[in-house]
Every structure is written in C-alpha cells, then in structure tokens.
Structure 1
Amino acid sequence: MIDDLPSLSFLAVPVVALAIAMEWWAVKTGRARGRYDPRHALTSVCMGIGNIAINSSTALLSLWVLKSVSQHHVWDMPDTWLFFPVVMLVYDFFYYWKHRLGHMTRGLWAEHVTHHSSPDYNLTTALRQPWTGPLTSLVFSGIPMVLIGFSPGWIVAASAFHLTYQFWIHTEAIGRLPSWYEFVFNTPSHHRVHHATNPRYLDRNFGGTLIIWDRLFGTFEAELDEERPRYGIIKPLESTNPIKVAFHEAAALVKDCAGDGLSPRTWARRLVNAPGWSKHGDHMRSTEIRAAWQASQRRAGPRR
C-alpha cells in the first residue's frame, strides 16, 4: 500500500542538497546562468526547513482529516499504481486553481508571496515555501480529492511527487527543452516566466507539473529570448529575516484593514480582490500593470 512507502520528498533530500551545490558551483564558475546571493539562499533554506517541520508535525493530523472526510466520498476510485497517472492529473488540476487563486486574491497571496519574494531564481528558491502551505494544500487539494473518491495515501504520494518535480524547474541553468516536452509539462523556461515581475509575464504559467492547464485557460506566456525575466515581487522585500518573509504581507493586510476602520465589507473586498486592489479605485493589480504596459507598447509602435 502507498501508506507504507517512504515520502518521495524525504528521499529527495540528499539529491536536493547535491543539486544545489552543483548549481552554485556552476553559477560561481561562470558555467551556468544564474545568481546566488548567500543571504537570500540561506533565507530560502530556512523557509524550507520551517515548512518541512510544520508539514512533518501536522502530517498525522492531515492524514486523519483526509481519512475522516473520505468516508463521505462520492465514487470509489481504483487503489492501484496503474491509476496513479490519473491521481497526478487531478491533483495538478486542483493545484493549478489553488495556485491561480493564490495570485488573484490577496488573502491567499499573503501566504504565497513568500515563495516569490526572492530576487534570485535558483534551486534554493524552490525551498522558499510558506509555512501555512500544508494547511491550504489540505483545504484546496486534499479534501476535494478525497470527497471525489481518491485514496488519502495516493493523494499524499501525488503531493510528494508534485513538490519534488517542481524543485528542478527553479533554475536559470537549464534552457528550453524539446518542444513536445515544453508543450505538455512545466519547465524551467515556463516557470521563470511565472516568477518574473515583467508586465508581460505577470501572473502567468500557474501549472505545477503540467502546463496544459495554462494553455487551456488562457494563462500561458512563453519566455522570450529578448526579454529576460526580472524576479521577485512588485514591491521588493528588503529583509531576509525568515519571520518577515513568512508574514510581511499578512501584516500589511492586517494594517490596511485596521486603516479601514470597522468596515467588514471593505475587509472582505481586500481579502478576495487581487493584490494591488484599492478601495479608492486607483488599482495597481497585475491587470492594470499589464494594460498600462500594453498601452505604452502600442504608443511606441512596432519594433524595427
């Protein structure tokens, strides 16, 4: 049974450490493109350790919740390795929408911004995970899937595989892969776009393992050779303190709500609207940023 298998994420730890060391060496010796600021890299590692610690300490509780909810499932899904690709497909679909909501609603962005806060893009960035991630993954992926009828054990396996796959795409050292692979799967090129703050690239490529969801739902953007991604967030976070990295946006959200006075309606609008929303109407969401950039491109005319 899948419940008896060791976590793929745990087995990947020595591979992850070796891969980071190799990428760092390749970047420092000029053999690969990339940037390694030791401060940001260390912060990312600390965030990863915190995420693993919380995930490990709540694993039994999460599994208990999944097994309890699974008693109310709608269908009986096959409990076999041959069905695992279907589990992965469905898990990735739910991940796409959870990830997209994490960019489209400030309440969820307050968590997800942690992962985007580094101005560097390398393998350590993959470790910069929010500490509340296990909870939101349970709510947005785990519970819906067990209600459908998927086994909790297979969902845990899909989650581990999914997270492990996404590690290697956080790099500038790998260029584009064969076109057939780029069309179906998430790749370093696609994910560089996702982490970029360039107006062209903002809020694009939300897929986890697969990029087909972005192609289907109109959120795909290809990386252009002439426009190298600029990484980080629109309002750069100067601190490398893990506590601030983890909670700075949540603190900013609370501060904004406090400034609204006793106005639950405005609080709710802040939570469900995209980052950059303003109660005064002078929004600076990704849609406004992209629209302003597109207008400037039209005024500039075609490139010669």
Structure 2
Amino acid sequence: MEKWILLGMGPVFLGFIAWEAWYWKSRRPDVYSLKDVASNAALALMHQASDAVSWLVVIGIYWAIYQHRLLNIPTTWWTIAALFVAQDFFYYFFHRASHRIRWMWASHVTHHSSERLNLSTAFRQSLTYPISGMWVFWLPLAWIGFAPPHIVAVVALNLAFQFFVHTEAVGKLGWLEYLFNTPSHHRVHHARNAKYIDRNYAGVLIIWDKMFGSFVEEDPAVPCEYGIVSQIHSHNPLTLTFHEWGAMFRDAARAQSIRSRLVQLFGPPGSKTTDSAEIQSPSYIK
C-alpha cells in the first residue's frame, strides 16, 4: 500500500519539481543540477524496488504481532488521526537513531549526501533501509492494536508530507513553525554546519524535537551548507548507496577488539575506538 500511495502521488511530486526548477532557473541556477536530479531519480527507483520486496516479507511480522495486540482499535477518523500522531512519534526516534547509530547512518547518509537541497532531494533514498531496520520502529503500533495496512498507509502519508519540506523556495510559515516540520526546519536538518548537525529530526510535527531537546531554529546569520561533513562528490547511485557501508565494515575489520568492532557498527558515526588507531566515519567526522 505504501508503494501505491507514493506512486499515486508521483505526478504531483514531479509537477512541483518542475515548478521549483523553473522558479530557480533565473534566480539561482545552481540549485538544480541535471546530474544530481538523475542520481536522485535512480536512487528513488532502487529504493522503491527494495521497499516493495521488503514489505512482502516484513508485513507478515506485523500481522503476527497484531495477533497479540493490546487493544481492538476500531477504524474511525479519530483512531486514524491517533495512528498518524503515534507513527510520527516513532518516526522521530527512527530518524534520530539513523543519525546516532552507524549501522542506520550507513543507509541514511545517502539521503544527506547531496550538496543541494531541492524537492528532488526527497527522492534521494537508499535501498538498504530494510537492512538497517527502518521497519522495526513501526512494530509497536501493531502491538498496540493498529491494523498493519493502516500503519503502512500512514507511513506513506508521513513520507509524502516530507517531500514538500525539501526546498529553499519557501521561507518562514508563521504560526505553522511552532507545530509542524517546515522547509525552514528541514533546511537546518540537511545542513552540515556545526551549529545544525543532528537537529530537527521531525517527520510532520516539530513538537518532538522541542520536547526532546533536538530543535534548532534556522539562523539567517548562519546560511545552511548542505551535504555531509566530508562530501562524497559522486553522482554514481551505487557509490552513494554503499560508500558508508564499505567504510563501516573496513573500520570494523581494522578494529582490534570485539568491543571496538561493535562500536564501529552500532556506535555513533565518527566514534573513536579504544584501540591505538582512532577510526572515524569519513562521512561524519565533526
């Protein structure tokens, strides 16, 4: 269902990308690059194929957990609204973990590797998300009692909303800034400036960042610089997908103890080991 919702929104997404490219053409032609857009499109296709296959396997786990649910939740407008908020809550922790656990960062780094921020950047996803464990974060929703098809649909709607925050064409949005993830908040999230790294993990609601201390306001005095700390400078979809996985496994192999190897795999990106050699993820050295 997730795939069909996002594919159904495809013409809308493409229409907005075309509008944004036209908008910037005479103002800031550097915002869009044909090579960058092409790599984003290739990554999106690879991700969709991987996602479709993984859900065929994973959905069975959701149904198995649903059989042991705590509540029998009816399908009404308010329970769907509750599911939307609950899923967004768990999305916050998935997103935060994707920046603080290297195993998960190895997938998420693909999304952050572009040196540009435009609507096509939302398509820049990794096919390895199922391996890094994105789907695990929605399992509690099935245990609570939300039906798996509804969970999948709400995940898709959350991701569809996030497409629209990947832009520099929209400024501050008044009172909406207090409640929702906005382009301004998400520009901060994609920035590689020291002030902005590891901030604003929100999917739809920015309130989670404010509750858990990860919120930072966009500062006009500190323009956002996009990408990862050590830029990858590649448009090859395979390089963009696997470069951090390769670096992570090489670092783990060089580590001289089991503990140090586990730190390289599951510690924060850029973690120092207790071995004589310090090992740091090149994409996340601060």
TM-score, L = length of structure 1: 0.87
Q: CA deviation at 1:6?
A: 8.8
1:239 aligns with 2:234: yes
- Give secondary structure in 2 for the equivalent of 1:73: coil
1:62 paired residue number = 58
**Shift >6 Å, 4+ stretches:** 281-288
**1:75 maps to what in 2?**
71
- What is the CA distance between 1:54 and its match in structure 2? 1.6
Match of 1:89 in 2: 85
Q: Does the CA-based 8 Å contact 1:34-1:173 persist in structure 2? A: no
RMSD: 2.3
In structure 2, the residue matched to 1:300 is none
Match of 1:277 in 2: 271
Q: Distance in 1 between matches of 2:130 and 2:229?
A: 26
* Aligned counterpart for 1:253 among listed residues 244, 248, 251: 248
The letter of the residue matching 1:195 is: H
- Secondary structure of 2:115's counterpart equals coil
- Range moving further from structure 2, 91-100 or 64-73: 64-73
Three-state SS of the structure 1 residue aligned to 2:46 is helix
Q: 2:258 aligns with which of 245, 259, 264?
A: 264
Matches within 5 A, 1:151-190: 151-178=147-174, 180-190=175-185
Question: What is the percent sequence identity of the aligned residues?
Answer: 38
SS in structure 1 of the partner of residue 264 of structure 2: helix
Does the CA contact (< 8 Å) of 2:269 and 2:284 recur in 1? no
Equivalent pair of 1:33/1:172 in contact (CA under 8 Å)? no
Separation of aligned partners in 2, 1:52 and 1:139: 18
Equivalents in 1 of 2:29, 2:215: separation in Å?
24
| Contact 1:195–1:231 (8 Å) recurs in 2 | yes
**Contact 1:33/1:173 (8 A) holds in 2:** no
Describe the SS at the equivalent of 1:202: coil
Which of 191, 200, 205 is the equivalent residue of 2:200? 205
Query: Structure 1: how far apart are the matches of 2:95 and 2:247?
Result: 21
Give the direction of change, closer, same or farther, for the CA distance of 1:21–1:154 in structure 2 (3 Å limit).
same
TM-score w.r.t. length of structure 2:
0.92
Aligned partners of 2:41 and 2:285: how far apart in 1? 34
**1:83 Cα deviation (Å)?**
1.4
Post-superposition CA distance 1:22-81 (Å, at most 9, x none): 111111122x79711221211111111111112223333332221122112222222223
Unaligned stretches of 5+ in structure 1? 290-304
Q: Look up the SS of the partner of 1:228 in the other structure.
A: coil
Q: Compared with structure 1, are the counterparts of its residues 267 and 125 closer, same or farther at alpha carbon in structure 2 (3 Å cutoff)? A: same
**2:45 maps to 1:49:** yes
| Mapped partners of 1:65, 1:14: distance in 2 | 32
Give 1:287 deviation, angstroms. Answer: 11
Letter in 2 for 1:13: G
Partner of 2:26: 29
The DSSP-based 3-state class of the residue aligned with 2:31 is coil
* Length, aligned pairs only: 282
2-structure distance, mates of 1:169, 1:72: 37
The more displaced of 266-275 and 105-114 is 266-275
**5+ unaligned residues in a row in structure 2: which ranges?**
none
More moved, 264-273 vs 97-106: 264-273
